Amino acid sequence: MNKLLPTLALAAVSLAAHAQTDSTDTGKLTVSGYIDSYYLTAFNKPKSGNLLGVDQLAGRAFDRLPDQFALGLVQAKLAYSNRKSDLVIDLTFGPNADLGNFGNTTGALNLYRPASPYVAALYGTSAAIKQAYFTYRIVPKLSVTVGQFGTHIGYEVIDAPVNYNYSLSNLFNNGPFYHIGLKAAYAFNDKTSLMLGVVNNWDNLTDNNKQKSLIGQFTYKPLSNLTLYANWIGGHGDDAYLSTLVDAGTLPTACDNYQRNLFDLTTNFQVTSRFYLGLNAAYGWYNFKDNDAEQAVSALFGSTSPAWGGAALYTNYAFTDVLGLGLRYEYFNDKNGVRYLHTSSNSLTITAPITLAAGKLQVKPEFRLDVAPNAYYENAQGLGTDRQSTLGMAFIYKY
Instruction: Give the nearest distance from C-beta 281 to another protein in angstroms.
Output: 15
Give how far Cα 365 sits from Cα of 68, 211, 312, Å.
15, 44, 20
Among 150, 176, 309, 392, binds another protein (CB under 8 A): 150
Please, which residue, 151 or 208, has the CB nearer to another protein? 151
Question: How far apart are the C-alpha atoms of 209 and 66, rounded to whole Å?
Answer: 39
Residue 162 near another protein by CB under 8 A:
yes
Q: Minimum distance from CB of 96 to another protein (Å)? A: 17
Asked if 189 interacts with another protein (CB under 8 A), we say no
- Work out how close the CB of 214 gets to another protein at its nearest, in angstroms, rounded to a whole number: 18
The CB-of-15 to another protein minimum distance in angstroms stands at: 9
Q: Is residue 359 part of the contact set for another protein (CB under 8 A)?
A: yes
H or E stretch covering 244? helix 240-247
Which of 87, 91, 146, 157 touches another protein (CB under 8 A)?
157
- For the chain, how long is the longest CA-to-CA vector? 69
CA atoms within 13 A on the CB side of 81: 9
* E strand segments, the chain: 28-32, 34-42, 70-81, 85-93, 129-139, 142-150, 178-187, 192-199, 213-223, 226-236, 258-270, 275-288, 307-318, 324-333, 344-351, 354-356, 361-371, 377-378, 384-385, 387-398
Calculate the alpha carbon distances from 261 to 75, 232, 285, 298 in Å.
Answer: 31, 7, 6, 19
Report the residue from 98, 156, 366, 370 that binds another protein according to the rule CB under 8 A.
156
CB 92 within 8 A of CB 130: yes
By CB under 8 A, is residue 320 in contact with another protein? yes
**Contacting residue, 123, 177, 202, 276, with another protein by CB under 8 A:** 276
Given the rule CB under 8 A, which of 16-24, 63-71, 116-124, 293-301 is the region that contacts another protein?
16-24
Task: Tell me how far apart the alpha carbons of residues 323 and 359 are, in angstroms, rounded to a whole number.
Answer: 11
Contact between 348 and another protein per CB under 8 A? no
Number of residues in contact with another protein under rule CB under 8 A: 39
Confirm if 130 and 97 have CB atoms less than 8 A apart: yes
Q: Binder to another protein among 321, 373, 380, 383 (CB under 8 A)?
A: 321
Applying CB under 8 A, among 8, 10, 138, 322 the residue interacting with another protein is: 322
| Distance separating alpha carbons of residues 97 and 91, to the nearest angstrom | 9
Q: Minimal distance in Å, beta carbon 98 to another protein? A: 21
Residue of 155, 286, 288, 377 that binds another protein (CB under 8 A)? 155
Select 264 or 378, whichever has its Cβ closest to another protein.
264
Site residues for another protein, window 78-107 (CB under 8 A)? Answer: 79, 88, 90
Contact in structure between 214 and 235 (CB atoms under 8 Å): yes
325 strand-pairing partners: 317
Which parts of this chain interact with another protein (CB under 8 A)?
16, 19-20, 25, 28-32, 79, 88, 90, 131, 150, 152, 154-157, 159, 162, 224-225, 266, 268, 270, 273-274, 276, 318, 320-322, 355-359, 399
